[in-house]
């Protein structure tokens, strides 16, 4: 059994959000779960933690686990952590031990090949990392905590395991990009059966790619990952991560209000099928985009889209949103703007119009215009529309959220999956025809599964195409 004395001695429970669990009761020496946390402490490093003997055995790896066999990397053996640390993420206050933000970079299960006092050989099976690693204490080292970690060729230790591994973790070529998929049978939507596996998620994104990619082009995307499915913890990721493949387009963009305290992040820009598949394999279910793009030289451009997020308050739903959407459409039409409408895939709806701001326009002008529209609607029908975020004022009303036009904010992309299930299938942020919005009498008619969305594209083409057309000036 492990000990947590050193762990506790280094931390004050009144000052850090970290867990203070007991040593776990079960004997899990055979192997079990692992986590790799990205820890932005004084220096960025990756904490690799393996469940064993009721605790987590830990190494801090400054450069992260090696992607290939080759030169071993430093892996500082740190104190055992409580099992609750497996899903810990958050901000450890500055000045405290390990102060800085911590996110879960990957998690999964592992098998043990060897475990001794100076050598630990394991196979990690996560979303990002999938392979054999050996942690070892070199024969001559100045500090006994300074271990090394190396990657071994993953040949599978038995034939059975090898064939199972080949099905679960196939190497594929997508649009000319080689990648390894992992844990394809994992249930990301529990209860959805074959429709909710990671395999099904990858399949959907691959098939919707031709229609979805133009909406993502040039937009630094915020990724919402669900490594253990929609009922477990999720993570908003802005950073592409250090192990992102070199072909993946990334762009460094300032992130005001970042909880991490850094002023910029290296965002993914999704512009090819391979990128969508790569992200789906990381259990990225939701793609959120800003209302602006970067140019070919990675410079941010002014907003090119105007968005309204229609958020139904208690006692209202999609039908009330539909009524408000029609009114907004009429106003935009009067101003020469063409609106597309979609479900959010969650409770509400969103509308987008393509705009072109003049050279002297402020980036905030889309937000100001949307606010004027929202406030005008709220004045006309104060009983059913509000333009104010305050929760307590929203009962029985649709909140017309104009604030997502702020350049620091994002909205879920059309055709993105959502982390919700309806009728045993994942939901999708689905573009609608205006006839559907006008004639709908039952909100369930506006909820679509991934298969239905693909069939709608085959029938209608891209119902969100007007968002991609040449923008009109704001009045
Ligand atoms: Mn750490």
SS3 120: strand
Give 14-37 pLDDT, tens digit per residue: 889 999 888 876 555 556 899 999
State the distance from the centre of ligand 1 to the C-alpha of 90, rounded, in angstroms: 12
State the distance from the centre of ligand 1 to the C-alpha of 89, rounded, in angstroms: 11
Say if residue 419's pLDDT is above 70: yes
Secondary structure element (H or E) that encloses residue 464, with its range: none
State the distance from the centre of ligand 1 to the C-alpha of 230, rounded, in angstroms: 27
Q: If you average pLDDT over residues 216-234, what whole number do you get?
A: 94
Say if residue 158's pLDDT is above 80: no
Say if residue 155's pLDDT is above 60: no
What gap in Å lies between CA 122 and CA 133, rounded to an integer? 6
State the distance from the centre of ligand 1 to the C-alpha of 347, rounded, in angstroms: 38
Say if residue 192's pLDDT is above 90: no
Dig out the tokens for 441 from the structure. 């009498």
State the distance from the centre of ligand 1 to the C-alpha of 395, rounded, in angstroms: 44
State the distance from the centre of ligand 1 to the C-alpha of 88, rounded, in angstroms: 12
pTM of the prediction? 0.72
From residue 106, alpha-carbon distances to 18, 65, 228, 439 in Å are 18, 11, 10, 45
What sign does the CA torsion over 454, 456, 457, 463 have? negative
What gap in Å lies between CA 341 and CA 276, rounded to an integer? 23
Q: What are phi and psi of 306, to 5 degrees?
A: -115, 135
Q: What is the pLDDT of residue 128?
A: 86
State the distance from the centre of ligand 1 to the C-alpha of 245, rounded, in angstroms: 24
Q: If you average pLDDT over residues 316-337, what whole number do you get?
A: 97
State the distance from the centre of ligand 1 to the C-alpha of 278, rounded, in angstroms: 27
From residue 362, alpha-carbon distances to 161, 246, 297, 365, 368 in Å are 59, 35, 21, 5, 10
Q: What is the pLDDT of residue 238?
A: 83
Q: What is the pLDDT of residue 3?
A: 85
Q: If you average pLDDT over residues 70-81, what whole number do you get?
A: 92
Q: If you average pLDDT over residues 177-188, what whole number do you get?
A: 91
Average pLDDT over the chain, rounded to whole? 90
Closest CA to 269 of 221, 209, 211: 221
Q: Where are the alpha helices (DSSP H) in 270-317?
A: 273-281
Which residues have CB under 8 Å from 80's CB, separation 6+? 2, 3, 4, 6, 7, 55, 56, 57, 58
What gap in Å lies between CA 1 and CA 77, rounded to an integer? 17
> Do 198 and 281 contact (CB within 8 A), yes or no?
yes
Q: What is the pLDDT of residue 360?
A: 83
Q: What is the pLDDT of residue 169?
A: 75
State the distance from the centre of ligand 1 to the C-alpha of 297, rounded, in angstroms: 35
Residue 161 confidence class, pLDDT cut points 50, 70, 90 = very low
> End-to-end alpha-carbon separation of the chain, Å?
70
Q: What is the pLDDT of residue 262?
A: 58
> Do 350 and 308 contact (CB within 8 A), yes or no?
yes
Give 130-153 pLDDT, tens digit per residue: 899 999 998 877 788 999 999 988
Q: What is the pLDDT of residue 168?
A: 64
* Residues around ligand 1, an ion, CB closer than 5 A: 39, 47, 60
What gap in Å lies between CA 419 and CA 446, rounded to an integer? 17
Residue 163 confidence class, pLDDT cut points 50, 70, 90 = very low
State the distance from the centre of ligand 1 to the C-alpha of 220, rounded, in angstroms: 28
Dig out the tokens for 468 from the structure. 């991609």
Q: Walk me through the domains of the chain, giving residue ranges and CATH numbers.
A: 5-158 (no CATH), 193-468 (3.90.920.10)
Longest dimension (CA), the chain: 79
Q: What is the pLDDT of residue 102?
A: 92
Dig out the tokens for 18 from the structure. 């970290």
Residue 390 confidence class, pLDDT cut points 50, 70, 90 = confident
What gap in Å lies between CA 414 and CA 391, rounded to an integer? 26
Q: What is the pLDDT of residue 292?
A: 96
- Classify residue 28 by burial, with Cβ atoms within 10 Å: 0-12, 13-18, 19+: middle
Give 252-301 pLDDT, tens digit per residue: 987 765 555 557 889 999 999 999 999 999 999 999 999 999 999 999 99
């Amino acid at each position: 059994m492990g000990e947590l004395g050193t762990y506790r001695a280094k931390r004050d429970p009144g000052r850090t959000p970290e867990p203070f669990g007991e040593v776990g009761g079960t004997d899990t020496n055979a192997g079990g779960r692992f986590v790799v946390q990205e820890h932005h402490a004084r220096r960025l490093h990756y904490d690799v933690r393996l469940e064993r003997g009721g605790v987590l055995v830990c190494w801090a790896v400054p450069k992260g686990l090696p992607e290939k066999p080759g030169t071993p990397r430093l892996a500082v053996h740190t104190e055992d952590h409580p099992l609750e640390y497996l899903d810990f993420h958050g901000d450890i206050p500055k000045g405290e031990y390990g102060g800085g933000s911590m996110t879960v970079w990957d998690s999964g299960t592992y098998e043990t090949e060897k475990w001794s006092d100076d050598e630990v050989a394991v196979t990690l099976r996560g979303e990002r990392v999938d392979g054999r690693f050996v942690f070892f204490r070199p024969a001559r080292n100045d500090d006994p905590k300074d271990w090394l970690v190396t990657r071994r060729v993953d040949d599978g230790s038995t034939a059975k395991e090898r064939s199972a591994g080949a099905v679960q973790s196939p190497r594929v070529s997508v649009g000319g990009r080689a990648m390894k998929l992992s844990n394809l049978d994992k249930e990301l939507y529990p209860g959805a059966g074959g429709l909710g596996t990671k395999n099904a998620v990858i399949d959907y994104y691959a098939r919707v790619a031709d229609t979805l990619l133009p909406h993502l082009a040039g937009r630094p995307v915020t990724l919402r990952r669900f490594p253990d499915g929609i009922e477990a913890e999720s993570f908003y990721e802005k950073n592409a991560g250090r192990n992102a493949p070199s072909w993946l387009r990334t762009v460094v963009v300032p992130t005001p209000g970042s909880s991490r305290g850094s002023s910029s992040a290296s965002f993914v820009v999704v512009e090819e099928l391979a990128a969508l598949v790569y992200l789906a394999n990381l259990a990225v279910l939701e793609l959120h985009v800003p209302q602006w793009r970067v140019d070919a030289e990675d410079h941010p451009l002014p907003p090119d889209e105007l968005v309204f997020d229609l958020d139904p308050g208690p006692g209202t739903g999609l039908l009330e949103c539909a009524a408000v959407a029609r009114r907004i459409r009429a106003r935009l039409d009067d101003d020469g703007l063409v609106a597309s409408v979609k479900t959010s895939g969650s409770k509400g709806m969103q509308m987008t119009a393509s705009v072109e701001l003049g050279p002297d326009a402020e980036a905030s002008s889309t937000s100001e215009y949307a606010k004027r529209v929202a406030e005008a609607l709220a004045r006309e029908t104060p009983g059913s529309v509000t333009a104010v975020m305050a929760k307590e004022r929203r009962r029985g009303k649709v909140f017309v959220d104009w604030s997502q036009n702020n350049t620091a904010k994002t909205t879920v992309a059309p055709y993105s999956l959502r982390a919700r299930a309806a009728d045993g299938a994942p939901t999708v942020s689905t573009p609608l025809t205006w006839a559907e919005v006008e004639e709908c009498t039952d909100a369930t008619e506006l909820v679509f599964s991934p298969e239905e969305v693909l069939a709608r594209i085959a029938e209608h083409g891209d119902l969100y195409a007007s968002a991609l057309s040449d923008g009109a000036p704001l009045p």
